[in-house]
Amino acid sequence: MGEKAFQDYWEKNRCWGCGGENEHGLHLKSRWAGDEAVSEFIPSPYHKAGPDNYLNGGIICTIVDCHSICTAIADAYREEGRALNSEPFIWYVTGSLKVDYYKPTPIDAPVSLRARVERREGRKSVVACGVYSGDVLCAKGEVLAVRVPPEKWYG
């Protein structure tokens, strides 16, 4: 994963899941691998669920949400044939998030995320994201990402 992560292009990103400027955050990093965006998350012991050996479901939701939103942003730049972070800036927010859990996600192994934009409808993109431990699909999320006009951004 040598290429620069999507999140590394965005200044002032204080998001708890993917913001590089949040010292307490998860610091998720997403990159293209063909038509999919991929990321790897290394859980820490304090990310556990009730049982010590599994990842908390809320952490899973957060990494699905952040990875999917960043995928939608990078996809929009790609669709417009522009470099990431070129002006006018593109930003998306979460319109909805659905996560289905298939198997407990072990906390003692890297978690891989694979996302792709399933469809685009005007300002909205639907992103599907799989959560894997090794080759095992542990959870799957679907995020409705909504493009925010620049004049609606918060400073």
For the chain, give the number of residues: 155
Query: At residue 107, what are phi and psi to the nearest 5 degrees?
Result: -85, -15
Rounded-to-integer distance, Cα 69 and Cα 108, Å: 26
How much is the pLDDT for 49?
87
Q: Are 147 and 91 in contact (CB under 8 A)?
A: yes
Query: Which tokens belong to 92?
Result: 């998306």
How much is the pLDDT for 119?
98
How much is the pLDDT for 152?
66
Query: Which tokens belong to 24?
Result: 């307490």
Q: What counts of helices (H) and strands (E) characterise the chain?
A: 1, 6
- Bridge partners of residue 115, in order along the sequence: 37, 129
Query: Which tokens belong to 136?
Result: 């095992």
How much is the pLDDT for 17?
86
Q: What is the DSSP letter of 136?
A: E
What pTM value is reported for the model? Answer: 0.94
Listed as ranges, residues in the chain with pLDDT below 50 are 1
How much is the pLDDT for 102?
98
Q: Which helix (H) or strand (E) holds 86?
A: none
How much is the pLDDT for 1?
46
Which CATH number applies to 6-152: 3.40.50.300, 3.30.1490.100, 3.10.129.10, 3.30.360.10?
3.10.129.10
